[in-house]
Amino acid sequence: MAHDEAPATTGQTKHRPGEAGDQFQLQFVTTVSVNVPSNAEKKRTQKIIRQTVMKNFRQQQRTEKSKPKGKKRLAATSNSDPDAEEPDTDEPSSGASQFTSRSQSSSLSERGGKKGVEGSEHRRSSRISSHSPLDLGSPITPLGAGRVDPFRSAYADNNHVLHELIDHSITVIWPAFRPFGASEGLPNLPTSWFVASNSSPVAMHSMLFGAQVHLDVLRGPRMNIDNPVRLYHKIQTMRLLQEELNKRRNICFDEVILAILALLANEVETIANHIKENKIQSPFYSPLTDLQWLNIYGSISHIEAHVLALRAIVDQHGGLEKIKLEGLAEVVSFSDILGATQSFSKPHWPLLERTLKFGPFEIDESVRYPLTILGQSFAELKHFGINRKMASVLQSMVDLTIIIDCHYQGTKPLKDFTPLIDRRNWVQHALMALPSGDELVDDKVRSVCLYEAIRHVAFIYSAAVTFPLPGMSGHFHKLAALLQPMLEASKFDICWRHCPTTLLWILVLGGIASSETPERPWFVRSILMVTKVLKLSTWEQVTEIMEGFLWLDSACDAGGRILWAEVTTGRSPSAPPRG
């Protein structure tokens, strides 16, 4: 699989000076476990293969028995449909022009398996209805007849699963990274990535691996970790990536980066650890979670060895700006921001200049209701609990909240989501890049504990609203566990006496995040004490204070009301002790 240490230690070969192999000895993926498996791994692999073969065999038998007489004749008639054209014989899978012709398009299910008219129509309709909320267009548009070459070695195992995974990648996964309106035609990113994967076996297997992981997670949180299709493409990606990195010259850097990114972002085994800890439900109703598939990739932890390898190869290649494959640099940057968010660290790369052209914040005051006072309470904290840099980040989070709320309220709906994605990533990058309290040098911040508490609560709010992460990630539980001892240690600090409303905002967001954790009763008791000091007796009075800081009612109100019910009754549900 992958080492826990630096990414290039095994299987290195000596190269002559000046050759490409001297610069990219990044064999972070060892082939020992693949080519020389242990006896236990052999038995486990053989068991999975036998189960898969027998399952497919029985399914084929049942299908043959259930076919009525004349079925083959019906299928033959359907294939002679004048609306369905035959594939071209010249280079069926090498050009982007294949994507633009609707007359050559057909559903993946029709090409991959049963060819009955009723079954094909049913699969096509279920395909269209299972789209992401984003406007991605018809699933039969990008892929037409002749989309794959059956004589290429990459398609030697050609079957209905292969077609399904290709279709899912091009019509569902990739457009969400850089979405465009349907009227603008096929997005550039899916086109370019499909052409790249079609010309490189390592890119193809990495694409199929990522698509299978995405499908497994969409089908339910308790997925089959031993899915043989996913395991097969993962092993092939690792093997081919090892071969590519061992080359002395002509390394396809973009395809290598794409393959490492797929391995980094699709370690679905990490989800199983969160499921065992019951980290499934989010206490917030987060908006726009499917943009860039944060609801999927936000629940998958990054493996350090893959992260180090990706950083090393991108840096040695000249940075993100040197990546040529359309949209790949933006997705790598997004992965960097997501990894920093998950680990509470700083992003490794600066943002791409071309992603900073989303324009100034322009929303008229008349359409901001009810967020007319959002963020105004931070002005009282300047030079006491926040510095100029943090104030700028908090204001950008306020602006982004207003954009999201106006979209959902319908007062200013978004037509193009790509500028919103760029703005959202910019805000999150700036938030994660803020210095910690220990790193503040010559800053006019008189209360470091207040600064740190605000920074951590901003992490909670971003994961709930502006950069939403799923509850399955365990992110809220981790932040609640960090925030509670921080506040307990500083409870006698004079800052809380001067800023009681700020303390209430911190406690409420921290309390919502602490749902079903051992820290929850502490937050309930603390909120009760602060509301008594402030003479607050209703939830409406509390939300008036919340709206002066960072707060989105549609995302936070439900969890807040549950928390307030516990405060008023003096009871909170028991949670298992933290292991």
Cα-Cα-Cα-Cα dihedral of 426, 427, 433, 436, to 10°?
Answer: 180
pLDDT in tens, 457-482: 999 999 999 999 998 888 999 999 99
Closest-CA residue to 286 (of 465, 512, 511) = 465
Task: Report pLDDT digits (tens) over 338-357.
Answer: 999 999 999 999 999 999 98
In whole angstroms, give the CA distance from residue 543 to residue 376: 14
Task: Specify the range with the lowest mean pLDDT, choosing from 255-269, 358-372, 457-471.
Answer: 358-372
Among the ranges given (35-49, 192-206, 338-352, 369-383), the one the predictor scored with the smallest mean pLDDT: 35-49
- In single-letter form, the type of residue at position 459 comes to F
Do 123 and 107 form a contact (C-beta atoms < 8 A)? Answer: yes
The whole-angstrom separation of Cα 460 and Cα 559 is: 13
Global pTM reads 0.74
- pLDDT at residue 278, as a whole number: 52
Question: Does the structure show a pLDDT above 50 at 382?
Answer: yes
Residues 6+ apart with CB under 8 A from 59: none
Q: Report which of residues 166 and 67 the model is more confident about.
A: 166
Q: What is the mean pLDDT of residues 73-92?
A: 40
**Three-state secondary-structure class, residue 506:** helix
Q: Within 10 A of 499 (CB to CB), how many other CB atoms are there?
A: 21
Nearest alpha carbon to residue 389 among 330, 439, 461, 320: 439
Higher pLDDT, 201 or 25: 201
pLDDT per position as a tens digit, 511-524: 999 998 999 999 99
Q: Which residues make Cβ contacts (< 8 Å) with residue 308, sequence separation at least 6?
A: 6, 7, 28
% of the chain beyond a pLDDT of 90? 42
366 Cβ partners below 8 Å, 6+ apart? none
Q: What is the pLDDT of residue 275?
A: 55
Bigger pLDDT: 253 vs 561? 561
pLDDT confidence band for 394 (50 / 70 / 90): very high
Mean per-residue pLDDT, 535-558? 95
Average pLDDT of the residues in 176-195: 71
pLDDT, position 341: 96
**pLDDT tens for residues 431-448?**
999 999 889 876 678 889
Rounded CA-CA distance 263/255 in Å is 13
Cis peptide before 17 (omega within 30 of 0): no
Tokens standing for residue 341: 């968010």
Over 50: is that where the pLDDT of 573 sits? yes
